[in-house]
Amino acid sequence: MVALDKEPVCDLCGGHESHPWRVAYDPGGKRYTLRRCASCGLVFLYPQPSSDGVVDYYSHGKGTTFHPLARAPQIRSLRDQVRTEIDRQIYFSGRIPASTSYLVRGLGRIAAGYFRYSRRYQTPPAGVGRALDIGCGDGKYLAWLRDVWEWEVHGVELSVAATRLAREELNLDIRIGTLEEARFPAEYFDLVTMWDALEHISSPTQELREVARILKPGGTLRVVVPNIASWPARIFKGAWAPLLPPEHLFHFSTHTLRAYLEKTGFQVERMASVGSPHVARSISRIGIANAERISKATIRLTWAMWPVDALLNLMHIRGSLFASARRNL
């Protein structure tokens, strides 16, 4: 990370008064401070990396997602085999051969069924149109939207490595850089999605205003972010995994996410709790706070406890927030 911004000014309300709210750690044990705006309640990382620092962080491969198509020939661990089988069943049934292991296929089938259920919100609006996914990563969602739902799809991604994989393996139109740098025409898209992306943006206000510019009047924006007001976040406090400094710069509640959307030209139609409560990963973060490292044993424990996350999700104990909004006419 490079140059730091000096003044903690709230991106949502412009307030200058905030107070330390929580301490969080990155995977290497480095300590970070989260502050909470005294006026609107927005939680944000401070100090924050500069906008250039954020772009540089992702451009050099940080946060690059697992790509089953690129890694399939080299897969060795059971975890990677199951992840590949999940992606095959959900996204790439015609591109990846089924596993030869009955165990892997069985685990993949169970997990894929769970993911389909827990991510129902990713189903596009009725009809077809032109869609943009911001922070599209390896392009799995866009490929699914194109191949299954017949939408015209485009993506924006900071990671050069992830973009290259999405282009080469999935033949997707992905633009490297920020949304503003992509320079899409005004009123161009029917649907814009931001799956776990808004918390990475240096200024959510500027980003959402640009989204409003490129969406057609009445077009749909769908967002998923970690929910800082969720029960798992309250229980694990600074060890809650989605705090994830320095990648996650802002943390949203129902109140602050709605305020952002209404401020930037959207009418909120639906908000709901979704996604994993991140219990397993948060347990590993407790180890960071105490020992400033993650041991291999803790990582194995985290993977083994994945069914606990799934069960809690099915019990409606969830860690993320979904919003669907329309651009004002």
Q: Tell me what percent of the residues of the chain surpass a pLDDT of 70.
A: 75
What is the arithmetic mean of pLDDT over 120-148?
91
What is the arithmetic mean of pLDDT over 31-51?
92
What is the arithmetic mean of pLDDT over 20-47?
91
What is the predicted pLDDT for the residue at 1? 33
R_g of the chain, CA atoms, integer Å = 19
Per-domain boundaries in the chain: 127-327
Which has more pLDDT, 309 or 68? 309
- How sure is the predictor about 29, in pLDDT bands with cuts at 50, 70 and 90? confident
Sheet containing 130-134: which strands, arranged edge to edge? 174-176, 152-157, 130-134, 189-195, 215-226, 320-327, 266-274
- How sure is the predictor about 313, in pLDDT bands with cuts at 50, 70 and 90? low
Token pair for 238: 């600074």
Could you give the dihedral angle defined by the CA atoms of residues 223, 226, 232 and 234, in that order, rounded to the nearest 10 degrees? -120
DSSP single-letter state for residue 127: S
Token pair for 188: 């161009």
Q: Which residues pair with 146 in a beta bridge?
A: none
Contact 245, 289 (CB under 8 A): no
- How sure is the predictor about 8, in pLDDT bands with cuts at 50, 70 and 90? confident
End-to-end alpha-carbon separation of the chain, Å?
Answer: 40
What is the predicted pLDDT for the residue at 110? 73
- How sure is the predictor about 106, in pLDDT bands with cuts at 50, 70 and 90? confident
Task: Express each pLDDT in 252-283 by its tens digit.
Answer: 999 999 999 999 999 999 999 888 777 777 77
What is the arithmetic mean of pLDDT over 306-321?
75
Any idea what the Cα angle at residue 219 is, between residues 213 and 222, rounded to 5°? 95
What is the predicted pLDDT for the residue at 192? 98
Measuring CA to CA, how many Å separate 17 from each of 13, 21, 36, 148, 201?
11, 13, 9, 48, 21
What is the predicted pLDDT for the residue at 124? 92
- How sure is the predictor about 48, in pLDDT bands with cuts at 50, 70 and 90? confident
What is the predicted pLDDT for the residue at 319? 87
Token pair for 196: 């776990």
Residue 109 has pLDDT above 70, yes or no: yes
Choose which CATH entry (3.30.70.20, 3.40.50.150, 3.55.40.20, 1.10.540.10) describes domain 127-327: 3.40.50.150
Residue 217 CB neighbours (<10 A): 10
Mean pLDDT for the chain overall: 83
What is the predicted pLDDT for the residue at 61? 54
Q: Which residues pair with 163 in a beta bridge?
A: none
Residue 2 has pLDDT above 60, yes or no: no
Task: Express each pLDDT in 192-245 by its tens digit.
Answer: 999 999 999 999 999 999 999 999 999 999 999 999 999 889 998 988 889 999
